Each structure stands twice: as C-alpha cells, then as structure tokens.
Structure 1
Amino acid sequence: MKRALAIGLVSVQLLLLAALVLLPHGSLWSVNAGVLAAAIVLGLAGAILAVLGLRGLGPALTASPIPREHALLVTSGVYGRIRNPIYTGLMTGGLGLALFGASVWHILAWLALVLLLAAKTRWEERMLVAEHPDYRDYGARVGRFVPGAGRLRPPSRPDPRDSRRDQPGSTP
C-alpha cells in the first residue's frame, strides 16, 4: 500500500511538471523581457537547487518518498539550510514555468504541484522521524522549504523536576 501511494504521488508530480512545460501559452499577462528574465532566473535557481539536493543525498537518494533503509541522515550542505531542497527547487522552477506560461492552467498546475509536494513532504517526514531518531531535532533547527520557515516542533524534553518526584524522600 505504501509503495503504491509513493508511486502514485511521484507520477502525479511528474504529470504536473510535464503540464507546466506542455500546456499552451496563455495571455493572462504579457510575457515581456522582465517576465521572461524572472521566469529564467526562477527556472535556473530551481534547477540548481534541485541538483544540489540530488547530489547532496548521495546513497540516501531514492525516487520514492519512502526513505532508503539504513541510509544516513543528510544534514550538511544545502540540507543544512533547508530540509527539502529538491522539492523547493521543483516549486521554484515550476513557478518560473507558470510565469512564462501566463495562463490560468499554468497557475492551477503550479498550485497543485505545491500542494502535492507539501503533502508528500509531511508524509515523508513522518517516515524520516521513525527511521532517524535525530530527525526531529534536525527539523526543529532547519526550515522545510525555505531557511527558518516550517520548522518542526522540538522534541518534548522531560522536565528535570519530574525525575526528582520519583526519588525516595522527595515531596511532590
């Protein structure tokens, strides 16, 4: 069941990215030199970020959102600034494609991609917390898609006062 869901999510993600490339150009706004430049910058920035994320994972890389068993948790390089650089790169590049496409369909495809990647990330992170005991601490320090934003709640720490209650001769 888990593998089928993973394949389905990745397939929809690829379809949305293909839609952003293949949808007919619209006329919601004029694609002048400024819009074209912004679209190119967003596209290149997204591609660079995604490639840095892919390279940074090394042997932990998998096409599936299901973490590779026994792979080390990567928290350095671009992963030291954001937890999901590949997804951030896809969203950023997708925004560039939507800007260039200038249609309602491009906007809807991009929004669907963002929502899909956000949901996929939450599912993936639940599995990473189960696989890597240090993931919650890492997630509390590092933003989800942009630095500083979307951090996880830190793990609850036992109150040291609670441990004194269990000792003989202590008063509650």
Structure 2
Amino acid sequence: MDADPAPAPFRLHPAAAWALVAAQFVFLLLLGFLPWGSLWPREAATIVIGLVLVALGVGIALAAGGALGRTLTPSPIPKADGQLVTSGVYSLVRHPIYSGLLVLGLGLIAIGASLLHLLAWIALLSILMAKARFEDLMLLDQYPGYRDYAARVGRLVPGIGRVRS
C-alpha cells in the first residue's frame, strides 16, 4: 500500500485574493472620505497627531514596499519567482505594508473622530488579518525558512502573532 500523499500546498483562489485587495482599498477610501464626527474634539493637536500617524503609516508602507522590490504584489498570493525578505522593516514584522496601512488608518480615525471611521478601520484590520493569514500559509509552502522566520517575527506588531515552531 502506498503512503499517504503529502498535503497539497495551500493556494488562495486568485479571485478571492483580488476581492480582499479590493475590499482593502474600499475601506481605506472610506477612512479618507467618511464625514467627520464629534466623538472627540477635532482640535489642532488632534489633527497634527492624525497627520503624523498618516505620514508614519505611509512611510512604513513605502519602506516595506521598497524592500520587496520586484517581489511586491498587492495580492496576498506570493510571486512564484519572488524572494523572501527578512531584513529591514521585515525583521520587525512579517507584513509591514499592512502595519503601515493600519497606522495610516489610525491617523484618519484621529482626524475623522467618528464611529464610522472606527468601524471602517476595524473592517480594514479584519481584511488585512485575513490577507496576512492566507499569505503566511502560502509563504510557509513556498519558502523552507519561513516557519523559523515566522516563529521569531510578529505578524503586524513586533512580537505579536508569531507562529509556533
């Protein structure tokens, strides 16, 4: 009798991957264009803090995208000919582009001061967590060293969301 075959590698259907990307952009746009609220005073200090968070988030995402180079793709499906990057911002978190988008979103919440902004950010967080989990599964299949890397480095926040080795 033959041995059980190895489990097939996890692959996210491309349509599902692009649906996650589209949803991510919808919630980012909502964060930018929802009407302002009055959950807290929208004073100069609040606006400055929000703008600093937006700039920090953009900076993190751009640094992470630049570090990926030709491996960069908006889809959570990794490129077949890509390289595993574990240095720079990737030594702090496995999905720093997503982290940057979430920090940017926090800045937009500070500026927007509405419950709708908060709900849109929570939806964005949910989508980015799903993308990160799917991406992790595919990267585990694609790169032999990914499990050790994921055991050392948090998913979206340094030290949080490490994979058990």
TM-score normalised to structure 1 length:
0.87
Please say which of residues 121-130 and 145-154 is displaced more in the overlay: 145-154
In 1: Cα distance, 2:24 partner to 2:147 partner: 26
- In angstroms, what is the RMSD of aligned CA positions? 1.0
Report the CA distance between 1:40 and its aligned residue: 1.1
In 2: Cα distance, 1:112 partner to 1:32 partner: 26
In 2: Cα distance, 1:14 partner to 1:127 partner: 22
Residue identity matched to 1:14: F
In 1: Cα distance, 2:81 partner to 2:29 partner: 33
Identify the residue that residue 90 of structure 2 maps to in structure 1: 79
Gaps spanning 5+ residues in structure 1: where?
155-172
Matched, 1:69 2:80: yes
Residue identity matched to 1:63: P
Match of 2:46 among 35, 48, 60: 35
Three-state SS of the structure 2 residue aligned to 1:29 is: coil
Three-state SS of the structure 2 residue aligned to 1:54 is: helix
Write out per-residue CA displacement over residues 16-72 of structure 1, whole angstroms, 9 at most, x where no aligned residue. Answer: 000001111111111112211210111111000000010010121111110000211
| Correspondence 1:97-108 to 2 at 5 A | 97-108=108-119
In 2: Cα distance, 1:132 partner to 1:70 partner: 11
Report the CA distance between 1:133 and its aligned residue: 1.2
Three-state SS of the structure 2 residue aligned to 1:78 is: helix
In 1: Cα distance, 2:74 partner to 2:133 partner: 16
Matched, 1:112 2:130: no
Identify the residue that residue 50 of structure 1 maps to in structure 2: 61
In 1: Cα distance, 2:104 partner to 2:82 partner: 28
Number of aligned residues: 154
TM-score normalised to structure 2 length:
0.90
Match of 1:136 among 130, 134, 147: 147
- Give the structure with higher Rg (CA): 1
Residue identity matched to 1:75: T
Residue identity matched to 1:151: R
Three-state SS of the structure 2 residue aligned to 1:145 is: coil
Three-state SS of the structure 2 residue aligned to 1:98 is: helix
Identify the residue that residue 8 of structure 2 maps to in structure 1: none
Q: Which runs of 4+ in 1 moved over 6 A?
A: none
Identify the residue that residue 122 of structure 1 maps to in structure 2: 133
In 1: Cα distance, 2:162 partner to 2:49 partner: 28
Report the CA distance between 1:120 and its aligned residue: 1.1
1 or 2 for the larger relative contact order (CA 8 Å, sep ≥6)? 2
In 2: Cα distance, 1:120 partner to 1:64 partner: 8
Residue identity matched to 2:159: G
